[in-house]
Amino acid sequence: MSRSPATIRRSVKRILRRRFGWLPLYELRNKVLLSHTVPRIWWFENSEVGRLRNLLPDGPATPLVTTVIPTYKRADSLAAAVESALAQTVAEHLVIVVDDGGGQVPKLPEDARLLVVGLRRNTAVLGVVRNVGIRLARSEFVAFLDDDNTWEPEHLATALAALEAKPTDREPPLDAVYTALRRVTPDGREMDILSVPYDRRAARERAFLDANAFVARRSRALRFSRMRRDRGILPREDWASLYRYARRHRIAHVPVPTVRYLVNPDTYYTVWD
């Protein structure tokens, strides 16, 4: 028995609502228009993880937390980001710098806790660069720091204290936490402090989930968007990935400003209120 076009359309709408109804329409539109960019870059990610795993040194012990720093041709600011990561008060810590094929990594401190790897070519997909770092990690927890931002020395200790806190009988352990952002302008002036308690409805409409403040238990579910989001495509990788992750994981906000976040007034993807 053949179905009418109207019946088919209604069936398709029901399937989309059931499968993607939690997504705002603008992100659903991105999935429809940009999903074709995923398979090729996903294949590249897998091949790079396999290649780089063979190059990893055998460490004496598994760190408690791994920080992933993606970078691309930002030698001037990368050094400061790495230094702030190595200055963390958490001792069991590994920092992995993943160069997105830029080939311009500056001389960094000689530290057994620092590992620098490079992709064979530039992907221009931030999510893929972070995913490579996550998949190379062996730690229980993973944190993220962009190459133009820095942390306060107690950033990881603050986040891990919340993650390792003994849960109550009524609540399971937290899967991830995010701290507050101290947002600064390029001239070093503090603009404000972004500190928003987690609320799923608010997270759907506002881009306050940022990877630089995010520390999570490492799992297969912790992956960033592989879609190629070119200039002007909204939302960006952080929102798309962390909002999806929070859908099935328990996260909380720690209202302590531990991230020094550079706000670029000329950025093309964020409107700063």
128-168 residue pLDDT tens:
999 999 999 999 999 999 999 999 999 999 999 999 988 77
Whether 47 is covered by a domain: the verdict is: yes
125: tokens are 């997909």
What pTM does this model have? 0.86
Residue span of the structural domain in which 220 resides: 22-262
20-78 residue pLDDT tens:
555 666 677 777 777 888 899 999 999 999 999 988 877 657 899 999 999 998 888 99
Whether 268 is covered by a domain: the verdict is: no
Whether 11 is covered by a domain: the verdict is: no
Whether 3 is covered by a domain: the verdict is: no
Split into its structural domains, the chain has a count of 1
Whether 229 is covered by a domain: the verdict is: yes
Whether 141 is covered by a domain: the verdict is: yes
Q: Please give the span between the terminal C-alpha atoms of the chain, in angstroms, as a whole number.
A: 56
Whether 16 is covered by a domain: the verdict is: no
Whether 7 is covered by a domain: the verdict is: no
* Cβ neighbours, 10 Å, residue 28: 16
Q: Assign residue 71 the CATH number of its domain.
A: 3.90.550.10
* Cβ neighbours, 10 Å, residue 109: 11
- The residues, ordered by sequence, that sit 6+ positions from 204 with a Cβ below 8 Å of its Cβ are 24, 243
Which residue's structure tokens are 């228009």?
33
Burial (Cβ within 10 Å: 0-12, 13-18, ≥19) of residue 34: middle
